[in-house]
Amino acid sequence: MVLETEPPLPPDKLPKCWNDNVRITALYSSIRPKDVNPLDRIDKISFWKPVVDTWCSHHHRHTFTLDELNRAFLRNGISPACFDAVIEEMMRHKQLMLYTDFTYVPSDSWTMWAADVLLKRPLEKTLKAVKESVWPSFFKEEVYVHVASTKAYAEFVWSSITDSQKGMLLELKEVACICQFTGHLKDLEVAIHWLRQQGKVAVTFSRKNGEMLVKFGGTLEKKVTVTEMDMSVYSLKYSEKVLMNLLEDLEKEKKLAIVQARTYVQKDMKHMAKMCLRKKHQLETSITKNSAILDNVQQLLSRIREAESDSKVLESYKIGLTALKMRFKESGLSEDNVADTMSEIEEMLDVQKEVEAALGQTVDGGTESEDELEAELAQLLQLDQSGSEQASPPHVTKGNLSLSFEPEISDDEDIESKDHEKLESRLKNLTLSGGLSSSVSSTPHKPHQRLSEPAH
Give the CATH architecture of domain 228-323: Orthogonal Bundle (1.10)
Residue 340: predicted pLDDT: 86
DSSP 339-363: HHHHHHHHHHHHHHHHHHHHHTS--
* CA-closest candidate to residue 234, choices 260, 263, 208: 208
Which of helix, strand or coil describes residue 398? strand
| pTM of this structure | 0.57
Kindly list the strands in the beta sheet with 96-98, ordered across the sheet, starting from the edge strand earlier in the chain.
Answer: 63-65, 143-146, 96-98
Residue 39: predicted pLDDT: 87
Residue 222: predicted pLDDT: 67
Residue 399: predicted pLDDT: 47
Residue 422: predicted pLDDT: 64
Name the stretches of the chain with pLDDT < 50.
Answer: 1-4, 109-110, 113, 135-139, 396-406, 408-413, 415-417, 431-456
Residue 445: predicted pLDDT: 44
Residue 292: predicted pLDDT: 94
The secondary element (H helix, E strand) that includes residue 396 is: strand 395-398
Q: Helices 172-179 and 185-197: crossing angle, nearest 10°?
A: 100
Residue 84, CB-side half-sphere exposure with 13 Å CA sphere: 12
Residue 362: predicted pLDDT: 65
DSSP summary character for residue 167:
T
The secondary element (H helix, E strand) that includes residue 176 is: helix 172-179
DSSP 278-317: HHHHHHHHHHHHHHHHHHHHHHHHHHHHHHHHHHHHHHHH
Contacts of 166 (CB under 8 A, 6+ apart): 216, 217, 218
Q: How far is CA 345 from CA 122, 280, 335, 358, 383, in A?
A: 81, 87, 15, 20, 52
The answer to whether residues 62 and 187 touch, using CB atoms and an 8 Å cutoff, is yes
DSSP summary character for residue 30:
P
